[in-house]
């Protein structure tokens, strides 16, 4: 029988090749499983038991969060669940390989509090989109980034992957998202105009849609913007727009979804536009957009 370490390697190759998971996901699963195996100190699949998992969960629950050691905050339930999800996926793989071990169904995820959205108001959004006011290449580029994020609901990684041969004659784009899944997103007229203006101002030949300009460039070559750089750009314009809340590219994705639902879009369509594999993920937005229920309550409740 192969060792746990060997089975882990086969599992990681399986989720990369057969399941089409991203290299980052494979890397994360490797980290979670390695930490679990180091804790239970066994190389035998049958060494994964209810008790060993229970002890690991206790240990995990008492670990200090990496960025919060001074505050002495422990790992969040959400982070702990990432470990449990990886372990369950590994156990399901072992079962398919007819390797005796703990049943994946024996592991329950920790209950987490309801996720909250830190949204900004319509007025704040308007100020944010108007924040890049200059006619220089950087301002024109940054305006295109903000408008495109709000128009499409793209993940920041998906935005970084866009190329400069984008077809602006069409109102739609085909995007390859998480797990290699392809979906269609749509561009507003404003977003298209901003991207056109930006592309017509560029002089470089780089394939990426959004590249470094001016002082951002480390050398004479244009380089694609990274996720971190785009996050920094969004943050800087939020501050410039006088927004005190934390604003990220993912905030723009939240705003895209809530805007659609608030204006009458059905949740299944929003799920497809966001590229969510499960409707459960999309349902987080529904309670934010139920403002009309208050009006209905006032209009119809306790009438005399």
Active site residues per annotation = 155, 178, 250, 253, 276, 285
- Nearest-angstrom CA–CA distance, 201 and 204: 10
C-alpha closest to that of 7 among 81, 84, 104, 91: 91
Whole-Å CA distances, 217 to 96, 145, 210, 271: 50, 18, 13, 37
Q: How many residues does the chain have?
A: 304
- Nearest-angstrom CA–CA distance, 104 and 107: 6
For 17-73, the DSSP string reads HTS---HHHHHHHHHHHHHHHHHHT---GGG--HHHHHHHHHHHHTSBPGGGTTTTP
Residue 204: which residues within 8 A CB-CB, separation 6 or more? Answer: 211, 221, 222
Q: Read off the DSSP letter of residue 104.
A: G
Whether the CB-CB separation of 166 and 195 falls below 8 Å is answered with yes
């Amino acid at each position: 029988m192969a060792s746990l370490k060997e089975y882990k390697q086969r599992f990681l190759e399986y989720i990369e090749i057969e399941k089409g998971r991203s290299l980052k996901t494979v890397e994360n699963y490797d980290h979670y499983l390695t930490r679990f195996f180091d804790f239970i100190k066994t190389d035998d699949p049958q060494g994964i038991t209810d008790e060993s998992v229970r002890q690991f969960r206790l240990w995990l629950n008492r670990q200090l969060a990496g960025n919060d050691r001074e505050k002495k905050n422990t790992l969040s339930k959400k982070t702990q669940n990432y470990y449990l999800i990886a372990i369950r996926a590994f156990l399901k793989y072992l079962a398919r390989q007819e390797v005796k071990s703990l049943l994946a169904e024996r592991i329950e995820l920790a209950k987490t509090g309801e996720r909250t959205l830190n949204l900004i108001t319509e007025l704040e959004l308007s100020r944010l989109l108007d924040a890049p006011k200059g006619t220089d290449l950087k301002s024109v580029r940054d305006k295109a980034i903000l408008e495109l994020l709000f128009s499409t609901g793209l993940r920041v990684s998906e935005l970084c992957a866009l190329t400069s041969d984008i077809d602006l004659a069409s109102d739609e784009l085909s995007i390859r998202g998480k797990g290699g899944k392809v979906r269609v997103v749509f561009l507003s007229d404003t977003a298209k105009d901003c991207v056109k203006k930006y592309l017509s101002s560029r002089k470089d030949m780089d394939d990426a849609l959004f590249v470094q300009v001016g002082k951002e460039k480390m050398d004479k070559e244009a380089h694609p913007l990274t996720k971190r750089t785009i996050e920094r750009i969004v943050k800087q314009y939020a501050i410039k727009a006088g927004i005190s809340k934390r604003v990220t590219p993912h905030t723009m994705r939240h705003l895209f979804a809530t805007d659609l639902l608030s204006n009458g879009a059905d949740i299944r369509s929003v799920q497809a536009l966001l590229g969510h594999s499960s409707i459960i993920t999309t349902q987080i937005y529904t309670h934010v957009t139920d403002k009309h229920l208050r009006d209905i309550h006032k209009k119809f409740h306790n009438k005399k």
